[in-house]
Amino acid sequence: MMKKIKYPINRFALKLALFSLCFGILQLVIYVVYPNDISIDMGMIHLFPTVIIHTIVLCIVIINSIINYKDLPEHFVVILAMLANIPITFGCFYTVLTIADL
Protein backbone atom coordinates (compact mmCIF):
# COMPACT_ATOMS: atom_id res chain seq x y z
CA MET A 1 0.00 0.00 0.00
CA MET A 2 1.25 3.47 -0.83
CA LYS A 3 1.97 5.88 1.97
CA LYS A 4 -0.22 8.96 2.04
CA ILE A 5 1.49 12.20 1.13
CA LYS A 6 1.75 14.30 4.25
CA TYR A 7 2.33 17.82 2.96
CA PRO A 8 -0.30 19.66 0.87
CA ILE A 9 2.35 21.36 -1.27
CA ASN A 10 3.69 17.94 -2.25
CA ARG A 11 0.21 16.74 -3.23
CA PHE A 12 -0.28 19.90 -5.27
CA ALA A 13 3.13 19.52 -6.93
CA LEU A 14 2.41 15.91 -7.92
CA LYS A 15 -0.99 16.84 -9.35
CA LEU A 16 0.57 19.75 -11.21
CA ALA A 17 3.28 17.54 -12.69
CA LEU A 18 0.76 14.89 -13.72
CA PHE A 19 -1.60 17.46 -15.26
CA SER A 20 1.21 19.11 -17.20
CA LEU A 21 2.46 15.75 -18.42
CA CYS A 22 -0.98 14.63 -19.60
CA PHE A 23 -1.86 17.98 -21.15
CA GLY A 24 1.49 18.24 -22.94
CA ILE A 25 1.25 14.73 -24.37
CA LEU A 26 -2.33 15.43 -25.44
CA GLN A 27 -1.11 18.51 -27.29
CA LEU A 28 1.61 16.44 -28.94
CA VAL A 29 -0.93 13.85 -30.10
CA ILE A 30 -3.18 16.59 -31.45
CA TYR A 31 -0.23 18.06 -33.36
CA VAL A 32 0.73 14.66 -34.78
CA VAL A 33 -2.83 14.12 -36.00
CA TYR A 34 -3.46 17.73 -37.14
CA PRO A 35 -0.12 19.44 -37.79
CA ASN A 36 -0.80 23.17 -38.05
CA ASP A 37 0.39 26.48 -36.64
CA ILE A 38 -2.49 26.76 -34.19
CA SER A 39 -1.36 23.56 -32.44
CA ILE A 40 2.18 24.94 -32.12
CA ASP A 41 0.87 28.26 -30.79
CA MET A 42 -1.30 26.51 -28.20
CA GLY A 43 1.70 24.41 -27.13
CA MET A 44 3.81 27.51 -26.64
CA ILE A 45 1.01 29.28 -24.79
CA HIS A 46 0.92 26.27 -22.45
CA LEU A 47 4.70 25.88 -22.17
CA PHE A 48 5.81 29.34 -21.04
CA PRO A 49 3.49 29.80 -18.03
CA THR A 50 4.01 26.16 -17.09
CA VAL A 51 7.77 26.66 -16.80
CA ILE A 52 7.26 29.65 -14.51
CA ILE A 53 4.65 27.91 -12.34
CA HIS A 54 6.68 24.70 -12.07
CA THR A 55 9.81 26.64 -11.10
CA ILE A 56 7.95 28.45 -8.33
CA VAL A 57 6.34 25.25 -7.01
CA LEU A 58 9.66 23.38 -7.20
CA CYS A 59 11.35 26.10 -5.15
CA ILE A 60 8.57 25.91 -2.56
CA VAL A 61 8.91 22.11 -2.38
CA ILE A 62 12.69 22.41 -1.95
CA ILE A 63 12.24 24.98 0.84
CA ASN A 64 9.63 22.73 2.45
CA SER A 65 12.02 19.78 2.25
CA ILE A 66 14.73 21.82 4.00
CA ILE A 67 12.34 22.90 6.74
CA ASN A 68 10.83 19.41 7.17
CA TYR A 69 13.95 17.35 6.55
CA LYS A 70 12.65 14.37 8.55
CA ASP A 71 10.26 13.49 5.71
CA LEU A 72 12.96 13.71 3.08
CA PRO A 73 11.93 10.57 1.10
CA GLU A 74 8.51 12.10 0.39
CA HIS A 75 10.06 15.36 -0.76
CA PHE A 76 12.64 13.52 -2.86
CA VAL A 77 9.95 11.59 -4.75
CA VAL A 78 8.01 14.79 -5.44
CA ILE A 79 11.12 16.63 -6.64
CA LEU A 80 12.01 13.72 -8.93
CA ALA A 81 8.47 13.62 -10.34
CA MET A 82 8.60 17.34 -11.09
CA LEU A 83 12.06 17.14 -12.62
CA ALA A 84 11.02 14.15 -14.76
CA ASN A 85 8.81 16.49 -16.77
CA ILE A 86 11.84 18.38 -18.09
CA PRO A 87 13.26 15.66 -20.39
CA ILE A 88 9.74 14.66 -21.41
CA THR A 89 9.08 18.26 -22.43
CA PHE A 90 12.28 18.38 -24.46
CA GLY A 91 11.32 15.09 -26.12
CA CYS A 92 7.88 16.40 -27.07
CA PHE A 93 9.39 19.66 -28.32
CA TYR A 94 11.95 17.75 -30.41
CA THR A 95 9.19 15.56 -31.85
CA VAL A 96 7.19 18.63 -32.90
CA LEU A 97 10.27 20.17 -34.52
CA THR A 98 11.01 16.92 -36.35
CA ILE A 99 7.44 16.61 -37.63
CA ALA A 100 7.40 20.28 -38.64
CA ASP A 101 10.50 19.74 -40.81
CA LEU A 102 8.92 16.87 -42.75
Tell me the whole-structure pTM to 2 decimals: 0.87
Q: How far apart are the first and last CA of the chain?
A: 47
Residues 39-93 pLDDT 10s = 888 888 988 899 999 999 999 999 999 999 999 999 999 999 999 999 999 999 8
User: Which three-class secondary structure state does DSSP give residue 68?
Assistant: coil
pLDDT band at 2 (very low <50, low <70, confident <90, very high): low
User: Distance (Å, rounded) from C-alpha 56 to C-alpha 66?
Assistant: 16
